[in-house]
Amino acid sequence: MVFHRILMQVIWVGVILSTIMAATATTFPLALPNCPDSCGNVKIPYPFGTIDGCYLNDTANIDDGYYFINCTSNAQGQPQPMIWNLNVTSISTESSEIDIQMYNSIDCYDQSGRPLSPDNAMSLYAPSFTVSVTKNKFVAVGCDTYAILSGALNGQLSRVGSESTCNKTLSVVNGTCSGIGCCQMAIPQDLTKIAFEAYSNSNHTQVWNLNPCSFAFVIQEDKFNFSSDYLISLRNNETLPMVLEWAIRAETCEVAQNTGNCICGGNSTCIDLKNRSGYRCQCRVGYRGNPYLKDGCQDINECDVKEANNCTSNQFCVNDVGLYHCLCLEGYHLDGEACVPNQAAPKLSLAISLAIGKLFSCSLVDMAKRVKKF
């Protein structure tokens, strides 16, 4: 029993030490040392950066400054991160995504059918970016509208189209985007160098009072729910939310590692892209942080209340480097994969009771013998 208590004290000391060690390792660095890691409310993780020396200078990409984020000021004087001429709202190293505000193609006419926007073609020429097919949709809005989306797909030109018509607002159903006032379609996988434009068949002359403009845009799907009001109000939306996927260099993990160019840090894994050249970095299981930094992936404390682990109510969690394990609480022992109550104490009590009973019965027999002699 004394040994058991000492053992439990040693275990609890280990738990406390592991908790302290885990607590000191919960600061996950985002940027290179002495580099800004945010612009306003937007986190800027490496390989992106806002000043020289703080972002990856990737000469393998056609666009110089591909990872440069311009931290400028918006109309309200607040910090605004931009890539090229597009506002950035979020950058993720975990999903390798960057959320931007992409331009809306707006094709408007006056009541006589004269165009008010002679050049409404929108394009995004960034070979190392692809449009996220799981997060975005290509949408055309209007009552006299068709739209074309084109781009490079495996080195070949790819074009898809969408058409939307209507003749009265009563026929337009809010929340529905199936061709009446609104039409949406999926985007081809791995499409790069995109361009899209809205057009009109009859210059909106027959539906001008209802809808004087055609609209075409790529938009983050979970942020779009069609409304008949958009037939007019989208004219005021110069940009709309869009998600891009990004990667490192135009080479495989093997080539990057053999040439010493792989920037994946410690406790991370290099992952090749499926359908095009380039790679991404990912922290290993049990680690979290920025995998593109040398020591960016830090051990996480799976025993923290905010984390998930498989320890049951009869167990306590012990954090290890890169993983964790579960131990039975005092008074329980491991039986297979479950911690069950100890039975030693009840058995011991029963043995003592039987011994006392036997001793008492022996005493009575001895006393009876003595009485008989008298």
CB 22 within 8 A of CB 304: yes
Instruction: Say how far apart CA 189 and CA 256 lie, in whole Å.
Output: 25
Q: Could you read off the pLDDT of 17-59 as tens digits, one per residue?
A: 444 444 444 578 999 999 999 999 999 999 999 999 999 986 5
Is this structure's pTM higher than 0.95?
Answer: no
Tokens 């039409």: give the residue.
183
Instruction: Say how far apart CA 223 and CA 44 lie, in whole Å.
Output: 23
Which tokens in the block code for residue 373? 């002699």
Q: Could you read off the pLDDT of 222-244 as tens digits, one per residue?
A: 999 999 999 999 999 999 999 99
Instruction: Say how far apart CA 166 and CA 181 lie, in whole Å.
Output: 6
Q: 202-216 burial by CB neighbour count: b if 16+ within 10 A, else e?
A: ebbbebbebbbbbbb
Which tokens in the block code for residue 81? 């991160």
- Judged by DSSP in three states, 195 sits in strand
The values of phi and psi at residue 136, to 5°, are -120, 160
CB atoms < 10 A from the CB of 98, how many? 22
Tokens 């200078």: give the residue.
57
Instruction: Say how far apart CA 299 and CA 307 lie, in whole Å.
Output: 12
Any idea which of 122-131, 195-204, 246-255 has the lowest mean pLDDT?
122-131
Mean confidence (pLDDT) of the chain: 83
Which residue, 168, 153, 162, 173, is CA-closest to 216?
A: 162
Which residue, 209, 145, 154, 220, is CA-closest to 181?
A: 145
